[in-house]
Amino acid sequence: MAAIEEFSYFCANKNSWESFFPPFYMKIKKSFYYMTNQEVRVRFAPSPTGPLHIGGVRTALYNYLFARKQGGKIILRIEDTDSNRFVPGAEEYIVKSLHWLGIEFDEGVNVGGDYGPYRQSERRDIYKKYVDQLLKDDKAYIAFDTPQELSVKRDEIKNFQYDASTRGTMRNSLTLSAAEVQKLIDEGNQYVVRFKIEPGIDVHVQDIIRGEVVINSSVLDDKVLFKSADQLPTYHLANIVDDHLMKISHVIRGEEWLPSAPLHVLLYEAFGWGDSKPQFAHLPLLLKPEGNGKLSKRDGDRLGFPVFPLEWKDPKTGDISSGYRESDYLPEAVVNFLALLGWNPGTEQEIMSMDELIELFDLTRCNKSGAKFDYEKGRWFNHEYILKMADEEVAKMYQSYLIEEGIDAPWDKLVTIVGLMKNRVNFIHELVPLCRFFFVAPTEYDAKTTKKRWKENSYLHMSKLLEVLEGLDDFTGEFTEEQVRAMIEKNEFHLGQVMNAWRLTLVGEGKGPQMFDIIALLGKEETLNRMRRALTILPDKRQ
RNA sequence: GGCGAGUUCGUCUAGGGGUUAGGACGCUGGCCUCUCACGCCGGAAACACGGGUUCGAUUCCCGUACUCGCUACCA
């Protein structure tokens, strides 16, 4: 008998078996969390208070990767319960941004679905019903204290908190008679509904990323759940009701929500939904690249990189904030970069397509600590994606920049240029200045390069070279190179000296691809013109 | 102040009771080469601190420090 009790204790006590076979437990623990009878349904639930921050984008991405990996659904829900902070255009911005990044939703404000409406401002009646239920069950109460009164209270009493210890001294339905309450309401006084939190209870939150977090209910205040002024719930109520009604199985959100997770657990229990509450995963925050603190819009402005996916124009001030798209980032690169800020597949693979990310994604491999935003690495990712892209694809984007510059180039030439040059840029627009010499002859010659590469015998070299080239019809074949090399050998010229001086005449500086690639693209006429012109401008240094 | 979370190269991170602590970005030396890039081969660079537990701790525990988050009729 004693043995059986001991055994059942052993089984029930996590710590005992964890210490008994820790490695084994760790392996189990991971898959353990995903075990759920219900369909996987996650949501991304931003507030339309402005452009979607890059940290929010990452939250959306992780939700998306998790949903796809688990064969579940992802829902886009708009949490616009604060009418004061509503910003026109923000919702559209969010939808467009996520679409640009390839994050698509199965249900939501933009695509519909069976659990709508997906905009909280359109769900007033639903919330009202649940607020009333809480009131009826004595799990919540009505409070008349005005924001001004509360603020005075907070000034007077250090660490004032509206909770079990103070609610008896405030103006609410617990201290007022039913008749008085009704009278105040009838007279049109504004009120709020507060959640009646029982003190002294240890609330346990199981977090997929952080393990168990315990908070005592006494440190929680009686949160406002509903405001009579706009007949809307606050985040906490709306969030719990919607997650329940929309059958959300996993809540994946930023770490800033961790402190209120116990409150949410209590709310699920108050509604009697304790057994079907979702699993939580609180993601680490994205931090400033330098110094401390959360990444903000100002950091982007200060350090010169975007913190928003798309360009955003503030409807009030007209201020423009730059976006990744407008800064010439490829969405695949942004996704890849963001995915690795706080998560990694456990291998050394860093370049991953969306499909690979989905395949590899695992919430239990998310980090607990915040990640400083390493903008340089973002540039590198973009570079890698340019390299991965087909030349034709890059050429298309390059072409649109050229058209802006008034350069209309033959398609084949563009593709060839891209093939030659794309390995040296982080952004496609950088090809424009880098490759300008293919279209525009140099009007001046870089002083440093001239000094270094244009020597006493350069004039002679170029003259001889001109002779050879004049005798050739076409610069695209290997024959050209053979002839030039033969001439150099015959005259016992120094190959490097000839080539570098030649490059100066055609490019105007000391950079660029192989000379024979350049002349193949330039063509005979242009090549000879540039050389002849250079000979009239560059100094003849012969003694 | 209270509560919570976090802490491995400058940055993103792997790892985990015994390792030369691995990779990537950035920086840097070299090779390749007609230049510049790319590529390849190298280099510098890290377990916050103090106690425990242990034969042994960067890894486990406790404390301290620091950082972040929350502490609204914002989300």
Looking at every residue in chain A, the average pLDDT score rounds to 90
Q: Nearest nucleotide by C1' from A47 CA? A: B75
Report the distance from CA of residue A303 to the C1' of nucleotide B7 in Å, as an integer: 25
pLDDT higher for A44 or A303? A44
Q: How far apart are CA A210 and CA A257, in angstroms?
A: 13
- The pLDDT tens digits for A439-455 are 999 999 998 899 889 88
Within 10 Å of residue A155's Cβ, how many Cβ atoms?
A: 9
For strand B, is any atom closer than 7 Å to the CB of A363? no
Report the distance from CA of residue A465 to the C1' of nucleotide B42 in Å, as an integer: 40
Q: Which residue is nearest to nucleotide B39 (CA to C1')?
A: A423
Amino acid at A186: D
Report the distance from CA of residue A199 to the C1' of nucleotide B45 in Å, as an integer: 51
What is the pLDDT averaged over residues A380-392?
A: 96
For strand B, is any atom closer than 7 Å to the CB of A129? no
For strand B, is any atom closer than 7 Å to the CB of A162? yes
Report the distance from CA of residue A78 to the C1' of nucleotide B75 in Å, as an integer: 11
pLDDT reported for residue A235: 96
For strand B, is any atom closer than 7 Å to the CB of A511? yes
Q: Residue A430 above 90 pLDDT?
A: yes
- The pLDDT tens digits for A38-57 are 799 999 999 999 999 999 99
Report the distance from CA of residue A366 to the C1' of nucleotide B63 in Å, as an integer: 28
- The pLDDT tens digits for A522-537 are 999 999 999 999 989 8
What is the pLDDT averaged over residues A116-133?
A: 95
Q: Residue A18 above 50 pLDDT?
A: no
Q: Which of residues 280-299 of A touch strand B (CB under 7 A)?
A: 284-285, 287, 289, 292-294
DSSP state of A203: E
What is the pLDDT averaged over residues A367-391?
A: 94
Report the distance from CA of residue A328 to the C1' of nucleotide B58 in Å, as an integer: 42
pLDDT reported for residue A81: 93
Distance of CA A231 to the CA centre of its chain: 34
Q: Nearest nucleotide by C1' from A499 CA? A: B34
Q: How confident is the model at residue A187 (pLDDT cuts 50, 70, 90)?
A: very high
Report the distance from CA of residue A382 to the C1' of nucleotide B31 in Å, as an integer: 27
- Left if phi > 0, otherwise alpha if psi is -120 to 50, otherwise beta: which for A541? alpha
Q: Nearest nucleotide by C1' from A425 CA? A: B37
Contact positions of strand B to protein Cβ (< 7 A): 1-8, 10-15, 17, 22-26, 34-38, 67-75
Helix (H) / strand (E) containing A43: strand A41-44
For strand B, is any atom closer than 7 Å to the CB of A142? no
Ranges assigned E (strand) in A336-377: 371-372
Residue linked to tokens 């008749």: A179
Is A297 annotated in the active site?
Answer: yes
What is the pLDDT averaged over residues A233-239?
A: 97
Q: How confident is the model at residue A37 (pLDDT cuts 50, 70, 90)?
A: low
The pairing of beta strand A232-233 with beta strand A224-227: antiparallel
Q: Which of A223, A297, A422, A464 is catalytic?
A: A297
For strand B, is any atom closer than 7 Å to the CB of A177? no
Please give the CATH topology (third level) of the domain spanning A389-438. Helicase, Ruva Protein; domain 3 (1.10.8)
Q: How far apart are CA A178 and CA A167, in angstroms?
A: 16
Residue linked to tokens 């623990």: A29
Confirm if A253 and A62 have CB atoms less than 8 A apart.
no
Q: Residue A13 above 70 pLDDT?
A: no
Cα atoms in the 13 Å half-sphere on the side-chain side of A44: 30
For strand B, is any atom closer than 7 Å to the CB of A369? yes
DSSP state of A378: H
Helix (H) / strand (E) containing A214: strand A211-216
Q: How confident is the model at residue A425 (pLDDT cuts 50, 70, 90)?
A: very high
pLDDT reported for residue A15: 34
Confirm if A129 and A187 have CB atoms less than 8 A apart.
no
For strand B, is any atom closer than 7 Å to the CB of A79? yes
Residue linked to tokens 């991953």: A352
Q: Nearest nucleotide by C1' from A145 CA? A: B73
Q: Residue A12 above 50 pLDDT?
A: no
Instruction: Please report how the helices A331-339 and A375-388 are oriented relative to each other, as an axis angle in degrees rounded to 10.
Output: 130
SS3 assignment, position A336: helix
Confirm if A302 and A318 have CB atoms less than 8 A apart.
no
Q: How far apart are CA A157 and CA A61, in angstroms?
A: 43
- The pLDDT tens digits for A460-518 are 999 999 999 988 888 887 888 988 999 999 999 999 999 999 999 999 999 999 999 99
For strand B, is any atom closer than 7 Å to the CB of A350? yes
Q: How confident is the model at residue A5 (pLDDT cuts 50, 70, 90)?
A: very low
Amino acid at A40: V
Q: Which two tokens stand for residue A270?
A: 């108050």
Confirm if A115 and A222 have CB atoms less than 8 A apart.
no
The domain defined by A447-537 carries CATH number 3.30.930.10: no
Report the distance from CA of residue A350 to the C1' of nucleotide B31 in Å, as an integer: 26
Output the CA–CA distances (angstroms, integers) from residue A39 to A42, A233, A495, in the order listed. Answer: 10, 27, 69
pLDDT reported for residue A26: 38
Cα atoms in the 13 Å half-sphere on the side-chain side of A180: 10
Q: Residue A124 above 50 pLDDT?
A: yes
Q: How confident is the model at residue A291 (pLDDT cuts 50, 70, 90)?
A: low
* A123-283 shares its CATH topology with A447-537: no
Percent over 70 (pLDDT), chain A? 92
pLDDT reported for residue A374: 85
pLDDT reported for residue A298: 77
Q: Nearest nucleotide by C1' from A205 CA? A: B4
Architecture of the A123-283 domain: Alpha-Beta Complex (3.90)
Residue linked to tokens 């009790």: A5
Annotated domain spans of chain A = 1-28, 123-283, 389-438, 447-537
Q: How confident is the model at residue A161 (pLDDT cuts 50, 70, 90)?
A: very high
| Nearest alpha-carbon partner for A51 in A8, A105, A93 | A93
For A296-318, the three-class secondary structure string (H helix, E strand, C coil) is CHHHHHHHCCCCECCCEECCCCC
β-strand partners of A212: A206
For strand B, is any atom closer than 7 Å to the CB of A256? yes
